[in-house]
Amino acid sequence: MARETIDGRVDGETETDRYRHLIEHVQDAVVEFDLVDGDPVVSDVNRAFVDVFGYDADEIHGESLNEWVVPDWKLAEAEGLDANTASGEINYQQVTRETATGLREFLYRGIPYAGSEGGTGDLDGGFAVYTDLTEVSRNERRLEVLNRVLRHNLRNNANVVAGHTTRLLAELDDQGGETTDVAATIERAAHELERLAEEASHIRRVLEHPTDEATDIDPEPMVRAVVDDHREQSPSAAIEVDIADNGPVMADSRLRYAIDSLVDNAIEHNPRPEPRVRVRVDDAEDAPGAASDEWIAIHVEDDGPRIPADERDVILDGSEITSTHHGSGLGLWLTELTVETFGGELSFAASDLGGNDVSLRLRRRDRRERS
């Protein structure tokens, strides 16, 4: 059936068939949709969409595209892109979208077309084309982390150890108080080197085994085990646990690296003599005050100093990694790389304890399995 294109041309049946054949075999995920009251309703998808997003063509046909692929907290962004499409604008934007196995990064292109069978000339539909950037973005980021952060921090701490050891040796004949301070500085630097090495080892384990298939794990035993370990290691810290009965999340045993790193940061970077930490697991919020039945959140809260804004920005991809702007260590990078492996998201907020609320948003089992 002929269709008038956006520039007024009419495609013949043969040409349409050729375009359909092309779209069906490109590696990018393509969705054809009708705009119904501004909402994109799926009319067709290609094979790549089924492979990449994990949703069958039959189950998504006639459904709102946004309800299936847009995370609730990204809905305003998607509606803005839809409005651009309705006005005839072609959209190009890097976006986060929800697949059957979690969040992935895409280059999104929204391409409108005009005129359906009625021939009114109004913009009533279009194509959404998604190029999967997830692994490219993650690999680039990982290389930057290992190159910049690990090299910088290991070099700096090694310099501290070497420099203070020289001073300590020169002052051994004069057993004064400064010698004790120098020794303490060396000890702290050495411990930091040990922690960096351990975190780097955890990052290697996370990156060596990407999660291509859906797996699930109950976070409650893991959270309690992490808390028990830190209560033993840091008896002066007051660590609370608040866990709702949320069931399994889409992750595996490596999730422990992220939780452990956040609890460790909350204690180690808190100058109070008795740091307070609260670990809670509950429903993630789609919007302030609105709980989600698709996602849960693991929060690690503290009463310490807020994580600097520039450090949060560089972790969340909002700022370029440079030799002087990359975060103070590997702990938050370990958390970010671990949670994104499972299609989740890391976020930062203020806690009612007076410090940080760092949370991991993770998806429950597939929505159709739970319904």
pLDDT at 60 over 90: yes
For the residues 49-70, what does the mean pLDDT come to?
94
- What would the pLDDT profile of 66-97 be if each residue is shown by its tens digit? 999 999 999 999 999 999 999 899 999 999 99
Q: Which amino acid, 123?
A: L
Contact 129, 109 (CB under 8 A): yes
Taking CA 148 as the corner, what is the angle to CA 146 and CA 151, rounded to the nearest 5 degrees?
Answer: 75
Q: Which residue has the tokens 């495609």?
A: 11
Token readout for 178 is 């400064």
Q: What percent of the chain has pLDDT over 90?
A: 43
Token readout for 304 is 């310490």
More confident residue, 147 or 277: 277
Q: Give the per-residue pLDDT at 229.
A: 94
Cα separation, 283 vs 286, in Å, equals 9
CA 91, chain centre distance (Å): 23
Backbone angles phi, psi at 288, to 5 degrees: -50, 120
Which of 84, 87, 80, 90 has its CA nearest to residue 111?
90
For the residues 318-342, what does the mean pLDDT come to?
65
Question: Which letter does DSSP use for residue 146 in this model?
Answer: I
Question: Which letter does DSSP use for residue 119 in this model?
Answer: -
Token readout for 70 is 């847009």
Q: Give the per-residue pLDDT at 4.
A: 45
What's the per-residue H, E or C state across 52-86? HHCCCHHHHCCCEHHHHHCCHHHHHHHHHHHHHHH
Q: Give the per-residue pLDDT at 122.
A: 56
Q: Give the per-residue pLDDT at 370.
A: 46
- What would the pLDDT profile of 113-146 be if each residue is shown by its tens digit? 875 443 344 568 899 999 998 877 676 666 666 6
Count of beta carbons in the 10 Å neighbourhood of residue 349: 10
pLDDT at 344 over 60: yes
- What would the pLDDT profile of 230-275 be if each residue is shown by its tens digit? 999 999 999 999 998 778 999 988 899 899 989 999 998 899 999 9
Beta bridge mates, 191 = none
Q: Give the per-residue pLDDT at 61.
A: 95
Q: Give the per-residue pLDDT at 170.
A: 65
Contact 142, 208 (CB under 8 A): no
Backbone angles phi, psi at 291, to 5 degrees: -80, 150
pLDDT at 324 over 50: no
Q: Give the per-residue pLDDT at 21.
A: 73
Q: Give the per-residue pLDDT at 178.
A: 59
Would strands 276-287 and 238-243 be described as parallel, antiparallel, or unpaired?
Answer: parallel
Which of 240, 217, 216 has its CA nearest to residue 302?
240
Q: Tell me the domains of the chain and their CATH numbers.
A: 3-132 (3.30.450.20), 137-370 (3.30.565.10)
Q: Give the per-residue pLDDT at 235.
A: 94
Q: Give the per-residue pLDDT at 41.
A: 96
Q: Give the per-residue pLDDT at 17.
A: 72
Report helix angle 255-268 to 331-341, nearest 10. Answer: 150
Q: Give the per-residue pLDDT at 323.
A: 43
- What would the pLDDT profile of 149-192 be if each residue is shown by its tens digit? 666 666 666 667 767 666 666 665 555 555 566 666 776 666 66
pLDDT at 327 over 50: no
For the residues 336-356, what does the mean pLDDT come to?
91
**Mean pLDDT, the chain, integer:** 79
For the residues 214-234, what does the mean pLDDT come to?
91
pTM of the model: 0.64
Reported as type and span, the H/E element at residue 25 is helix 13-25
Token readout for 301 is 């809260």
Q: Give the per-residue pLDDT at 371.
A: 44
Token readout for 115 is 């005129």
Cα separation, 134 vs 98, in Å, equals 12
Cα separation, 242 vs 281, in Å, equals 6
Contact 364, 246 (CB under 8 A): yes
Q: How far is CA 337 from CA 193, 309, 346, in A?
A: 20, 19, 9
Contact 112, 86 (CB under 8 A): yes
pLDDT at 320 over 70: no
Q: What percent of the chain has pLDDT over 70?
A: 65
Q: Give the per-residue pLDDT at 27.
A: 85
According to the per-residue pLDDT averaged within each range, which of 212-216, 295-299, 337-341, 363-367 is highest? 295-299
Contact 292, 286 (CB under 8 A): yes
Q: How far is CA 138 from CA 143, 166, 250, 323, in A?
A: 9, 41, 19, 19
Q: How far is CA 136 from CA 133, 141, 196, 326, in A?
A: 5, 9, 25, 19
Report helix angle 255-268 to 219-233, nearest 10. Answer: 30
More confident residue, 165 or 313: 313
Cα four-point dihedral sign 321, 325, 328, 332: negative
